[in-house]
Amino acid sequence: MRLPAFVARFAAVLAVLSLTVSQAAAQSILRDAETEKLLDDLARPLILAAGLDPRNVDIVLVNDPSVNAFVAGGQAVYINSGLIGEADDANEVQGVIAHELGHVTGGHAVRGDEGAKPATGITLLSLVLGLAAAAAGAGEAGMGVIAAGQQAALGKYLAFSRAQESAADAAGASYLSKAGISGKGSIDFFKKLQNLEYRYGFTKNDLSEFYSTHPMTDDRLTRLQDVYEKDPAWNAKTPPGLEDRFQRIKAKLYGYLADPQDTLRAFPTYVNTIPAHYARAYAYHKEAFLDKALGEADALLKAEPQDPYFLELKGQILLESGKPQEAIPPLREATDLTSNQPLIATTFGHALIATEDKANYPEAERVLKAAVVRDHDNPFAWYNLGVVYEALGEHARARLASAEQQYMEQQYGEALRSAVAAEQGLPTGSPDFLRAQDIEMSARAEVEQQKKKR
């Protein structure tokens, strides 16, 4: 009986959107102060052009080598690290962000049911008719009805998805235009996608558009090329400083994520640009070549002594090489220069704790508390704050910090126990007590929900 295979195949198709929505959770999020600042600056004019508030829109970097970007409900755009690596310039990334913002404003991530429900209806009807035919003795005819129904449902769902992509293309083009940003990068990136399709044989000759959730790339290029070339912003240039920052970040991510030997081949030692020093610093650090890694960091600082991200890099190398006391000066300076940027401040606080010198704990508490106020979704900061509280004998606040960390990491059972323990030692009605209660109730609800799913 082939019916389960048919059902499973269509269920897999309907899962496409939900997989897209949930893939951020399946992949690790990359947090880096410099990268997040660049992505925010690239996106800000587009977010404003889309009529959104930049304070409410997140551009999130995902550790995934595939060339992709997606939305997952709310006002968040997820960009894979592989896309940054594939892009040649900042304008290409802006084209991608503009398209994804089109999905955000169109509410596409939460409208999947609009495409799935009609498709499901067709499939269920074909199953009923097919099974009825099979029960009457016409087995082959029944299976034919089921197969035809599945084909129709698949086509209906994919047509809905392609319509969303076309709408996002149009919206993205309008946002680029309103922001005064050229669409050349968008066109160039579509050409990259087209080349990838050709490389893997995904052309109209052998892959029907019917089976694609996106319009074929050459059709998108044809539609958008005319729109962009007529736009007044077509010849607009990316500000040089923004482009330089993008090239730094691209090299930084490559050095951080790639195999060190690949990095050293891509950025040989005779190349003395800022991106090359950046990439090699991470490659040497990953190989535990402390002197070489520090040499690259010092080369960066010689070029730009007050750059907070180069100072952060040097502090990170020293800290992760077991030299926390030496890491403190560059990390303190980086924290000051960025007005206590939360991620940098967290690393600084960690270095202060790692000295195991209690004289450093009050400063660590101060910078870590400032970090969690500005970046609440920072479990590592909460972890370090809990370490400080425990060392200072403030056990209830340490349990509360642990509860915060555990809840963010979806360790709901542990968060529940930590929150209850915190409540027992905190003054009733105090802000910390009320926060512990909030975590307790939220964690308890999550635990109960998980039990129901089993």
pLDDT exceeds cutoff 50 at 276: yes
Which tokens go with 261?
């030997």
Q: Name 59's bridge partners.
A: 77
Confidence of residue 453 (pLDDT cuts 50, 70, 90): confident
Say what the pLDDT of residue 190 is.
Answer: 82
Cα 18 from Cα 215, distance rounded (Å):
19
pLDDT exceeds cutoff 60 at 145: no
Cα 400 from Cα 425, distance rounded (Å):
10
Predicted confidence (pLDDT) per residue in 370-379, tens digit: 999 999 789 9
pLDDT exceeds cutoff 60 at 388: yes
Say what the pLDDT of residue 192 is.
Answer: 81
Q: What is the 3-state secondary structure (H, E, C) of 276-343?
A: HHHHHHHHHHHCCCHHHHHHHHHHHHHHCCCCHHHHHHHHHHHHHCCCHHHHHHHHHHHHHHCCCCHH
Say what the pLDDT of residue 27 is.
Answer: 56
Question: What's the mean pLDDT in 275-284?
Answer: 98
From the CB of residue 362, how many other CB atoms can be counted at a distance below 10 Å? 11
Q: Please name which of 121, 122, 116, 127 lies closest in space to residue 157, comparing C-alpha atoms.
A: 116
pLDDT exceeds cutoff 90 at 253: yes
CA distances from 429 to 356, 386, 432, 436 (A): 34, 21, 8, 10
User: What DSSP character marks residue 410?
Assistant: T
Say what the pLDDT of residue 376 is.
Answer: 78
Residue 76 · residue 108 · CB < 8 Å: no
pTM as predicted:
0.79
Cα 385 from Cα 391, distance rounded (Å):
10
- Name the residue type at position 428: T
CA 35 to chain centre: 11
Say what the pLDDT of residue 109 is.
Answer: 53
pLDDT exceeds cutoff 50 at 66: yes
pLDDT exceeds cutoff 80 at 19: no
Say what the pLDDT of residue 221 is.
Answer: 78
What is the percent of the chain with per-residue pLDDT over 70, rounded to a whole number? 76
Residue 33 · residue 309 · CB < 8 Å: yes
Predicted confidence (pLDDT) per residue in 174-218, tens digit: 999 999 999 999 999 888 877 776 665 554 444 343 334 444 566
Which tokens go with 178?
């309103």
Say what the pLDDT of residue 161 is.
Answer: 47
pLDDT exceeds cutoff 60 at 284: yes
Residue 187 · residue 217 · CB < 8 Å: no
Q: Going from the N-terminus, what domains does the chain have, and what CATH number goes with each? A: 3-229 (3.30.2010.10), 258-305 (no CATH)
Q: Which of 47-51, 207-211, 257-261, 359-363 is least confident?
A: 207-211
**Mean per-residue pLDDT over the chain, rounded:** 83
Question: What's the mean pLDDT in 288-307?
Answer: 98
pLDDT exceeds cutoff 90 at 383: yes
Confidence of residue 169 (pLDDT cuts 50, 70, 90): confident
Confidence of residue 108 (pLDDT cuts 50, 70, 90): low
More reliable by pLDDT, 153 or 73: 73
